[in-house]
Structures are given as C-alpha cells and as structure tokens.
Structure 1
C-alpha cells in the first residue's frame, strides 16, 4: 500500500509526487494516457525529421517558479534554451514590437515605434524589480500568501499597495492606454493577456498581461532542449530515482471514500489501489466533483457551486513542418520564439467579442511558436518546426467567417479552420503556405482526447477571469487544495493559482497533505500586522 496515490501524471501530478517522495512517502501515480506528462509532451508526428510540441511549448512560468527551481531538474538532464528574442508582435505597417531579454533592446525598439514608450517600459520593469519576487511568491503559494504579503507590506505603504492592486485589476486595454502612447507596447500587453481567456476589456487582464510581459523581460520564454518532453522526462526520472511508481494506461474511475476520508481509488480495469495517507487529484475540478467522487460524499453547496464553474476558451492548434523560415514582412519577428498576430487592440476586442457571442472568429488572433528558432535541435538546419493556436467559443452558435463552420470539427471543418489560420499567417508572412511540408490539425475534441484535463482545449483548468481566481478557485472557499473529503487534495490547474506549467497546484496539494500549513486565524493575524507597517511605495505604472 502506497502512502499516497496521485491521479494524473501531468506536470502538477508529477511535482506533487516528487515532493511527497522527498519526504519519504511511498507514491503511486496513475495516468489514464499511455504516457506521462499530460500537456507537456512532444513527438515526431508531423514529420519524421521534426520535433513538434503537441501542447505547451514555452515555459516562462517554469523559469520563474520556485517550485520547479527547487526540484533541480537540471540534475536529471533537463536543459533550457532561448530564441534570440522573446516575443514579437508585427504591426500592420510592417514594423514590429519586440520583447528582448536585454532591457535596452526592448526599450529602444519601443521608442522607435513611439517616442517615450521605451521610458515607460523601463518604468514597468522598475516596478517589477521592486515587487516581482513577492508577487511570484504570492502566486505560487496557497491562499492567503502570508510571506509574500509580508514582503509586499514591507515595501509598499497603503497608498502604494492600493495603486499596485488597482493596476493589476485593470483591463489590459486600460492599462495600456494609461502607460503607453503607441500601439506596439499596448499590443505586447494585450497579446500576453490573451494567452489566457482575458480579452482587452476583461478585469485583471492588465495584471495578467503585465505579469507575462515582465516574466518575458526577466526570464524569457525558455524551451527544453529537444522538446517539451524533456521537462516530463526529468520529472519522471527524479520521481523514479526516489522510489515513486508511475502506471500509465490506468484511468481512475472512482475515489473510494470511507467515513468521510479518501482511502483508495478504483481504476477502469477494476483494480482498487489503496492510499494509506492521501489521494491527490491532478484532474479538473468538474472531473473530481462530478465524476470521481460520489455525490453523497459532497456537501450540496459544493455540487451547486460546481454548476457555476466556468471553463476557459476552447483551443484550435496547427503544427507545421516548414522547409524554411517563416517569411515575415516584419523582419524583427524572425528571431522571436513567440509571435502574436493581430492588427490592433481593437482587432483583439473584436476577436474576444466574437467568442463571447459564440462565433468562430473570421480573423483569429494567433499565437505562433517558432521552435527551431528557439531550439535548433527541433528540425534540420534551415527549416522550422512551428505551430499556431487560436481560441474559440466552447459552444459554437455561428461562424463570423464565410465558410459556414458549425463547430462539429469533422474532417472537413478541421481543414477549413486550419486553412483560415494559415491565411492569417500569410497576411503577415506572404509565401508562408508554400513552405509547409506537412501539418497536423488539433481541434478542441482532439486536444481533449489526448488529455482529459484539456476540456475542449481549455488550457487553464477553468477561466482566468477574476470571479474564479484566488479564494474563488475553483469555487468560493479558501483557495486551498483541501476538499470536503479528508485526505483528498485537488492538485490540478483548476486549483489556485491556475494554468501554466509552474507546478504550484501540485506543490500546494503536496504541502497540504504533508500538513505544512497554518491556522487561518494565525494567517490573517500576521497579514494584518504586516500590512500596518512598512515603508516605501511602488505601483505598476510609476514612470
């Protein structure tokens, strides 16, 4: 009998299992797919000479995560690499906004686009330098983040803290308008906000876009050498060296609860796998509370709250093997690992509005990955392993384009949508389509079939919107991994702090299982004492 059973061998499940094993617990991980890694996986399925990341690719949150850093995965062979530039957003007139890890390069480029915006970008980075460490600590720990709040309290007086909070809560359109005069810098922020489901008018879109932009400035958007699977291989190697066991092809169908405590899980094959101390579930909240736990073991309020759980956008992705580099009109985009494609912030608003109305966008906002640019091992010299994804409505009510897509995502519709995305790239890179050797199309149902946590291609385990963050994630409560069932912990991105490959939900669940926590009263008392003292002031937007 293992001390802990972990359901799901995605990055959060593997992080949780590693941390438990570090404390001497015996751990068994059960994974439904025939491989570990969840959405951190790569293959040669597009072309035998090309490595393509099937799901996630760039990992700024992993680079910033104290959880990942503490695992010392480099000792397991993990190596990181960077594209020459972090992120590019070509403009309609052929110019290009770029984030480079060299602040001077970023700022000078933004000044060329609009005089003064480079100075404003430096001011944002100055604010990040003062508060970024504590913000990341707050992001990556359970609610309430006591030590992080203590750190911020020492740096910010009440007025500075309120200004920082206001800026983080702003829609990204408003933050961009307040801090920058030109479209380039505003698009960098807004495009980063749409890595989640936060359109230009969404509350906290400014905070999320700013966070991702500052992570890119400080850490870059690194990738594992050889493919995303390198990160998974390192997590698996580390766990197995500590005695952990991973069983793939073992979907869990039920969590066994006795006298209010999780004591075992049952698999689709009929096995009962007991857990001496804890069960940690790296599955979506709807799967945990809707399928794995029988309703009689849950308070009626939890079941009622789960009816209101909101998923994030669906996703449609295309992988390519290209016989040469992408022929960008804006040459500055050629050196960026990640490229955002949208004409303007207004264009992003239109895109988000179409999704809100249930329409498949006619001019999809694209996130493009140039993987060989970031890691030359991904494909032969002179070629490019690339991908693009876009967001879609989860429930399709119509097509804003002229091809009559219905959201059935049969073979014909998959090809039509992939063509639409390629035509969008073509607008910014004429001749792109002629360079495609082969492609792979991943529609929302395909993404879900490959990883059940990616419901219709939802990337963040539930909406990133304010009403389902922190103490509201996944339902109103404490924002902690504990569940109403003793010994059962939610360890997926449906838990605080949400999506991204940073390991925090898994780490938080492992710490809770280990009993590393304070009483809520002690926590709030410390927070109140901390926030009443401190010196200095800083705010997002100080120029």
Structure 2
C-alpha cells in the first residue's frame, strides 16, 4: 500500500510525487495516457526529422519557479535553450516591437515607436526588480501567502503602493495608454496578456501582461533542449531514482471515500489502489468534483459553485515542418522564439470580442513558435519546426469569417480553420505557405483526447480572470489545495496559482499532505526544514 496515490502524471503531478518521495513517502502515480507529461510532451508526428511540442513549448514560469529549481533537474540531464530574442510583435506595415533578452534591446525597439518609450519600459522593469523576490514567493506558495504577502505589502507601502496596485488591476489597454506614447510597448503588454484568456479591456489584464513581459525580460522564454518532453523525462527519472512508481495507461474512474476520507482510487479496469495517507489529484476541477468524487461526499455549496466554474478559451493549434526560415516582413521577428500575430491592439480587442460573442474569429490572434530558432536540435539545419495556436469559443454561435464554421471540428472544418491561421501568418510573412513541407492540426476535441485536463483545449485549468483567481480559485473561499474530503488534495492548474508550467499547484498539494501527517516528535531542524518547504524556498526537496 503506497503512502500516496497521485492521479495524473502532468508536471504538477510529477512535482508532487517527487516532493512526497523526498519526504520518504512511498508514491504511486497513475496516468491515463500511454506516456507521462500531460501538456508537456513532444513527438515526431509532423515529420520524422522534426521535433514538435504537442502542447506547451516556452517556459518563463519554469525558469522563475523556485519549486523546479529546488528539484535540481539539471542533474537528470535537463538543459535549457533560448532564442536570440524572447518575443516579437510585428505589424503589417513592417514595424516590429521586440522583447529582447537584454533590457537595452527592448528599450531601443520601443523607442522606434515613440521617443521615451524605452525609458518607460525601464521604469516598469525597475518596479519589477523591486517587487520580484516577494512577488514570486507569493505567486508560488499557497494562498494566502502570509509572509511573502506581508513583505510585498511593506514594499508597496514604501513605493506608492495604492497607485501601483491600481496599475496592476487596470485593463492592459489602459495600462499601455498610460505608460507608452507609441504602440510598441502597448503591443508587448497586450499580447502577453492574451497568453491567458484576458481581453485588452479585462480588469487585471494589465497586471498579467506586465508579469509575463517582465518574466520574459528577466528569464527569457526558454525551451528544453530536444523537446518539451525532456522536462517530463527529468521529472520521471528523478521520481524513479527516489523509489516512486509511475503506471501509464491507467485511467482513474473514482476516488474511494470512506467516513469522509479518501482511502483509495479505483481505475477504469476495476483495480482498487489504496492510499495510506493521501490522494493527490492532478486533474481538472470539474473532473474531480463532478466525476471522481461522488456528490454524496461533497457539500451542497461546492456543487453549486461548480456550476459557475468557468473554463478559459478553447484552443486550436497547427504544427508545421517548414523547408526554410519564416520570411517575416519585419526582420526583427526572425530571431524571436515567440511571435505574436495581430495588427495592433485594436485587432486584439476585435479578436477577443468575437470570442465573447461566441464567433470563430476571422482574423485569429496567433501565438507563433519558432522552435528551431529557440533550439537548433528541433529540425535539420536551414529548416524550421514551427507551430501556432489561437483561441475559439467553447460553444460556437457563428463564424465571423465566410467559411460557415460551426464548431463541429470535423475534417472539413479543421482544414478550413488551419487555412485561416496560415492566412494570418501570411499577412506578416508573405510566402510562408510555400515553405510548408507538412502540417498537423490539433483541434479542440483532439487536444482534449490527448489530455483530458485540456477541456476543449483550455490550457490554463480555468479562466485567469480575477473572479476565478486567488481566494476564488477554483471556487469561492478556497485558494488552497485542501478539499472538502479529508486526505484528498487538488494538485492541478485548477488550484492557485493556476496555469503555466511551474509546479506550484503540485508542490502546494504535496506540502499540504505532508503537513497534515507531520509527526509530533520531529526535531527542531526537521521542523525548520519543513517550514522552509512550506514557504517555497529554493531547496524544496526534503533531503533531496
């Protein structure tokens, strides 16, 4: 009988399992798919000579995460690679805003849009540097982050805190207008806000766009050398070395609850796997409370709140094997790993408005990845492994374009939508389509079939909007990994702090489970180590 059963071998589940194993617990991880990784996997499915990330690709949050740093995955062979530039946002007139790996590079790019905008970017960066240690500590620890929050509040009070807090809750359109005279800085902030499901007019989108931009400025948007699955391989190798058990092809159909406590899980094949101390669920919130745990074991208020749970946008992705570099009209985009494709902030607003009206956008905002530019191992020299994803509504009422897309996502609709995405790329890179050697389409149902947590391709475990963050995530009054069922812990992106590959939800769940079973006879040194792990400091392994 293992001490803990972890449901799901995504990055959060694997982080949780590693931390439990570091504490001396026996751990079994059960994964539905035939391989681990969740949304951190790669393959050669587009072309045998090209390595393609199936889902996520660029990992600024992983680079900033004290959770992952504490696991020392470089000892398992994990290496990171960077494109020469972090991000670019070209416009159809040939101008291009660039987020460089060097602050001077970014500032110089923004000054081409309006004199003084480089200095404005430096001021935003100065604020980030003052707040960064405590902000990251607060981000990667359970809510409420008492110690980090107190330190952060003190820094805010000392530096005009109310005005800064106002800036962070602004819509990103308004923040950009207040901070920059030209369009370049506004584009960087707004495009980064739409890495989540935050429209330019959404409250809090300014803070999220600023956070992602500053993460990129400080840590870059790195990629694992050899493919995103290299990060998964490092986590699984580490777990195996510490005695953890990983079983793939095992779909969990039920959390067994007795007398209000999670005591086991049951698989779709009928096997019961007991858990002596805890069950940790790296699954979506609706799956946990709507399927795995029977309603009889949940408070009525939880079930009522679950009906108000909101997913983030659905996702449509296209992967390409290209016979040459992307022919960007703006040369500056050629060196960026990530490229944002929308012809200005107004076009971002138009895109988000169409989704809000349940229409398939006619000019889809695309996040475009140049993977060989970021990591030369991904494809043969002189070629490019590339992808783009865009968002669509979960329930479609109409097509803003002229193709009549209705959201059936049959073969015809998939091809039409992929063509639409390629036309968007062509607006900024004429001749792009002539370079396509092969392509693969991952429509919303396909993404979900490859990873059940990606409902309709929703990639953040639920909306990033303010009404489902912090104490409201995943439902009001929570914000922590504990659940209404004793010994059952939520370890997925559905829990605070949410989506992104950083391991914090898994680490928070593991620490909560360990804290519940903390022996009363620990030595003072052991208690200090435990407190350090609760705080999310860099040495997150218990003896690891």
TM-score of the two chains, using structure 1 as the length reference = 0.94
Q: Which residue of 1 is the match for residue 117 of structure 2?
A: 117
- Distance in 1 (alpha carbons) for counterparts of 2:300 and 2:108: 57
Counting matched residue pairs gives: 518
Whether contact under 8 Å (1:51, 1:378) holds in the other structure is: yes
| Moved segments of 4+, more than 3 Å | none
1:339-358 residue CA offsets vs partner (Å, 9 max, x unmatched): 00001111111100000000
User: In the TM superposition, what is the alpha-carbon distance from 1:103 to its structure 2 partner?
Assistant: 0.4
Q: Which residue of 2 is the match for residue 144 of structure 1?
A: 144
User: In the TM superposition, what is the alpha-carbon distance from 1:477 to its structure 2 partner?
Assistant: 1.1
- Distance in 1 (alpha carbons) for counterparts of 2:66 and 2:285: 25
User: In the TM superposition, what is the alpha-carbon distance from 1:470 to its structure 2 partner?
Assistant: 0.4
Tell me the secondary structure at the aligned position of residue 105 of structure 2: helix
Whether contact under 8 Å (1:511, 1:517) holds in the other structure is: no
Q: Which residue of 2 is the match for residue 94 of structure 1?
A: 94
Tell me the secondary structure at the aligned position of residue 415 of structure 1: helix
- Distance in 1 (alpha carbons) for counterparts of 2:120 and 2:445: 42
Whether contact under 8 Å (1:91, 1:184) holds in the other structure is: no
Q: Which residue of 1 is the match for residue 332 of structure 2?
A: 332
- Distance in 2 (alpha carbons) for counterparts of 1:342 and 1:335: 18
User: In the TM superposition, what is the alpha-carbon distance from 1:517 to its structure 2 partner?
Assistant: 11
User: In the TM superposition, what is the alpha-carbon distance from 1:159 to its structure 2 partner?
Assistant: 7.0
Tell me the secondary structure at the aligned position of residue 501 of structure 1: coil
Whether contact under 8 Å (1:14, 1:235) holds in the other structure is: yes
Whether contact under 8 Å (1:99, 1:216) holds in the other structure is: yes
Q: Which residue of 2 is the match for residue 534 of structure 1?
A: none
- Distance in 1 (alpha carbons) for counterparts of 2:516 and 2:488: 15
Q: Which residue of 1 is the match for residue 526 of structure 2?
A: none
Q: Which residue of 1 is the match for residue 203 of structure 2?
A: 203
User: In the TM superposition, what is the alpha-carbon distance from 1:489 to its structure 2 partner?
Assistant: 0.3
1:459-516 residue CA offsets vs partner (Å, 9 max, x unmatched): 0000000000000000001310000000000000000000000000000000100117
Structural mapping, 1:65-464, within 5 Å:
65-157=65-157, 160-464=160-464
Structure 1's unaligned 5+ residue stretches are 519-543
Whether contact under 8 Å (2:92, 2:427) holds in the other structure is: no
- Distance in 2 (alpha carbons) for counterparts of 1:75 and 1:190: 37
Whether contact under 8 Å (2:324, 2:383) holds in the other structure is: yes
User: In the TM superposition, what is the alpha-carbon distance from 1:158 to its structure 2 partner?
Assistant: 6.8
Structure 2's unaligned 5+ residue stretches are 519-544
Q: Which residue of 1 is the match for residue 531 of structure 2?
A: none
Whether contact under 8 Å (2:226, 2:375) holds in the other structure is: yes
- Distance in 1 (alpha carbons) for counterparts of 2:364 and 2:301: 39
- Distance in 2 (alpha carbons) for counterparts of 1:41 and 1:250: 18
Tell me the secondary structure at the aligned position of residue 459 of structure 2: coil
- Distance in 2 (alpha carbons) for counterparts of 1:343 and 1:516: 52
1:401-421 residue CA offsets vs partner (Å, 9 max, x unmatched): 001001100000000000000
1:377-425 residue CA offsets vs partner (Å, 9 max, x unmatched): 0000000000000010010000000010011000000000000000110
User: In the TM superposition, what is the alpha-carbon distance from 1:153 to its structure 2 partner?
Assistant: 3.2
- Distance in 1 (alpha carbons) for counterparts of 2:355 and 2:244: 43
Q: Which residue of 2 is the match for residue 491 of structure 1?
A: 491
TM-score of the two chains, using structure 2 as the length reference = 0.94
After TM superposition, the structure 1 stretch with the greater mean CA deviation from structure 2, 12-21 or 90-99, is 90-99
Tell me the secondary structure at the aligned position of residue 253 of structure 2: strand
Tell me the secondary structure at the aligned position of residue 78 of structure 2: coil
